Structure 1
Amino acid sequence: MNATLNRFINLREDLKNSLQFKLGIVTKLVFKKMNAQLVQEGIPVLAEQLPILMVVYFQEHAMTQQEIANLLQKDKAGIQRSVQTLYKDGFLKIESDVVDKRKNLVTLTASGKFVCERIQALVIAFDNQVMEHFSEEERNTLNGLLDRVAAVIDK
């Protein structure tokens, strides 16, 4: 019984110290803080929706929902739900493709562009708030390590 309990305790500690668990905690905290800042600024967008808005914002042409899903590596159904919500909220415009009527083209509305510009300022301010607690060398090391983790996983 004691050996089983020790294995369980060790496994629990291994999981708590795993990359997935640590990144999950950081991601959850970042989204929670970002959502609070968005509410405080009166921006009716969730942090989880930001990648869609920003992908569309930085594209030079209208995108299909499938292109957005591919770029963000998300399933099309999830992207479709978020796009519909952002459309209803007035941030995205959805038009049928003139060539292929089965495709919807997504672009930002004027209020979508305005919100994206405000969000960029919030993201930069948030990043600065967190990173001011690290030296330049630590920031460079952290960024390098995260890039390396991404490269290893992406192989």
Structure 2
Amino acid sequence: MSNPIMERSYVTDLLVTALLEASVGQIVQYKDLQQLVNHDVQGRHRYLLERARHICMRDHKRAFTTVMNVGLQRTAAEDLVKLGKGQIKRVRNAAKKGAVIMDTVQRADLTEHQALEHDATRGILAAIQTASKPRKNNQASRANADPQVKL
């Protein structure tokens, strides 16, 4: 038996088309989208708009940010960099919270298998925290040891 092919709804296609027509920095207002599809895309039928945003991101490499109670704004490249850095901060904070939870465990209460799983999980969380810390570039600030090479 083959897997069924998932098809998009007509409403989702209309929303995707409307979002793709937006230029960088332009705001597509919720009221315009609601008139277009005749559904409440801010309330009960929000999933339709979320799906359209996901399709725009995945298939067309276009990102949209929310403008509170106004609509969706096509995000400029420089803002996408900030959003990406914000996601790193979010991951780091989630790893910190997970580490705090893991540190409350009494190892004496764990079986050998659970203790190994605890240690592995704690190590992964520590690695995420370490890898996601913002660092300054120390290489550029150090003096060049070889005078023949220009940095």
Structure that is richer in helix per residue: 1
TM-score normalised to structure 1 length: 0.30
Structure of larger gyration radius: 2
TM-score normalised to structure 2 length: 0.31
